[in-house]
Amino acid sequence: MKSYPQFLGLFILFKFSILAWGKELPNVVIILADDLGYGDCEPFNPASKISTPNLNQLANEGIRFTDAHAASGTCTPSRYGLLTGINPARTGVLNTLLARGKAIITKEEKTLGDLFRSQGYHTHMVGKWHLGFNYPNQKKNKWTDQPLPGGPVDRGFDTFFGIPSSAGSDPMCWIENNRFTKEPTEPFSFPKFNIKGESITVKTKTAPGFSVEQASPTLVKRAVKIMEDHAQDKSDRPFFLYYASPIPHQPWAPMKKFAGKSGFGPYGDFLMQMDWVVGEIHQTLKKNGLDQNTLLIFTSDNGAGPVAHKRMKAQGHASSEKFRGMKAHRYEGGHRVPFIAKWPGKLAAGTTSESTINFTDFFATFAELLGIDPEERFPSVVDSHSFLTTLYKPEKRFPHPPMVHRLNALRVDDWKWIHPDRKTPFEKTKPGEYRLYDLRKDPGEQTNLAAENQKLADKFFQLYQKFDQEIKLK
């Protein structure tokens, strides 16, 4: 009698393995641009001055989401929300946390890597991490020959190749899995623009073989190799690839093939290079027969940086398209991002969805795709709402629960409720100070309707107040 439960357990495990390791589960690839504005690519801005043929092709073959949002208006919190399904406003995640020299994602906070790996996926990350490590000396930006705990390979990924932050941030060297590869010893200088738009020269050191210009193409080669190796191995196990591009974030150092090509300066050239990155990954999937069973997603971590936004506007290019604001803003231009999803035979090609979605929703969406109850298996995921049905029915606009945008800003349906000062603690604000915008009629957030809709504004104040009471800062 004792052998029966053991046999049943083996049978269940075998049945699970067939599902989790079989070819019916798709490969998943996420391409995340860095500081690419909503209006920086043609599928989302018909008046764009920059040519993006590869993104145009991807949009023609997939679904274009016009109301997609990063989890925040800056890099670190946005990536945190994408990977964990937790609104960074709930835990107080900001870029400034990196100064602690500690990993921002804790062991208890599970990631997309953990989710996919639990179902037998090979999980890979290539590119910009920007979520910290538990540095041995508790100081960030310091090279060390010791392991770097708390990074991608400790947070759900089988492999990692990339950089700790932007391509122009110290230490300027590669990380392979959980170690720096070579110590920065070679003097190096490169140009960039400060917040005032003034050109400055940064002097630092790089590791042998590392350069700002070669960062992006080197990372693309690694991503391509991962996909090619998977195809050659003919593995029954699907893969998840999270490609976090370091461009078009500063420093703007386009490859020679793109330098001067856009006619709109180095940022414009970098936009063309970002489009090339999408093409390289997309075409690799096609050439190796992987695209038919791959869900490919392209998006950006936040809006265009302030210097890029200003310089491109002066040349007639709207990096935020019709939306107000830019990177770091709670206005739409800070977090509304381009978003394209493609899965041949599963998702309707050449379609557009107006449904509101957020980076934090990735987790629940993929969990539903894999047949997993995230509340039961991954209790740390508290701000994720599946948009899988939206993927299958892009023509229908689905509602989204109230969505908090960083500090003192809230999105409910087509209403945007926001305090004009992005730094004042909620406890020091008053209901009458908030502004209310109807995004359907006023996407540029110019006409404050709070006075005419006082009951609605008060309701939103109460909604945010409830969220604020749940905040537990890291």
Number of domains in the chain: 2
How many CB atoms lie under 10 A from the CB of residue 418?
A: 24
How does pLDDT run across 458-473, given as a tens digit for each residue? 999 999 999 999 999 9
- 414 and 362 in one domain? no
- pLDDT reported for residue 138: 67
CB 474 within 8 A of CB 91: yes
Tokens of 14: 């075998």
| Whether residue 231 is found in the same domain as residue 91 | yes
- pLDDT above 70 (res 405): yes
The answer to whether residue 62 sits within a structural domain is yes
Residue 245 lies in a domain: yes
> What residues does 297 pair with on adjacent strands?
30, 341
Residue 94, domain member (yes or no): yes
Residues 454, 394, single domain; the answer is no
**Are 207 and 354 found together in one domain?**
yes
Same domain flag for 348 and 455:
no
Which of 283, 440, 387, 401 shows the shortest CA–CA distance to 65? Answer: 387
Classify residue 2: in a domain, yes or no: no
- The answer to whether residue 98 is domain-embedded is yes
CA distances from 163 to 122, 133, 325, 433 (A): 21, 12, 28, 42
What CATH number corresponds to the domain at position 448? Answer: 3.30.1120
**Whether the predicted pLDDT of 151 surpasses 60:** yes
Identify the pLDDT of residue 15.
39
- Residues 395 and 413 reside in one and the same domain: no
Are residues 198 and 71 both part of a single domain?
Answer: yes
What band does 139 get if pLDDT is binned at 50, 70 and 90?
A: low
pLDDT mean over 183-211: 94
Residue 234 inside a domain? The answer is yes
Residue 381 located in a structural domain: yes
Average pLDDT over residues 229-248: 96
Q: Which of 164, 82, 127, 173 is nearest to 281 (CA)?
A: 127
Query: Using alpha carbons only, how large is the chain's radius of gyration in Å?
Result: 22
pLDDT digit string (tens) for 323-380? 999 999 999 999 999 999 999 999 999 999 999 999 999 999 999 999 999 999 999 9
- Say if residue 27's pLDDT is above 50: yes
Do residues 457 and 436 make contact, with C-beta atoms less than 8 angstroms apart?
A: yes
Taking CA atoms, 130 is separated from 17, 222, 333, 364, 470, in Å, by 34, 19, 22, 23, 26
Q: How far apart are CA 399 and CA 404, in angstroms?
A: 15
Residue 8 pLDDT exceeds 60 = no
**Paired strand residues for 242:** 30, 125
Q: Are 141 and 113 in contact (CB under 8 A)?
A: no
67 with 126, same domain: the answer is: yes
What integer best gives the mean pLDDT of the chain? 94
Measure the CA–CA gap between 26 and 370, rounded to whole angstroms: 9
Q: Give CA–CA dist 25/198, Å, rounded.
A: 50
Task: Tell me which of 365, 399, 433 is where a domain ends.
Answer: 399
Same domain, 111 and 226: yes
* Residue 159 CB contacts under 8 Å (≥ 6 apart), including other chains: 123, 124, 125, 153, 177, 226
Domain boundary among 369, 399, 429: 399
Same domain, 338 and 465: no
The DSSP bridge pattern shows strands 68-69 and 357-358 to be: parallel
* Domain finish residue from 373, 399, 425: 399
Helix axes 265-287, 53-61, angle to 10 degrees: 40
**Domain region containing 353:** 24-399
Pair 246, 387 in one domain:
yes
Q: Is residue 392 part of a domain?
A: yes
Q: Are residues 210 and 320 in the same domain?
A: yes
CA angle 54, 58, 61 (to 5 degrees): 140
CATH number for the domain harbouring residue 278: 3.40.720.10
Distance CA 274, CA 262 (A): 12
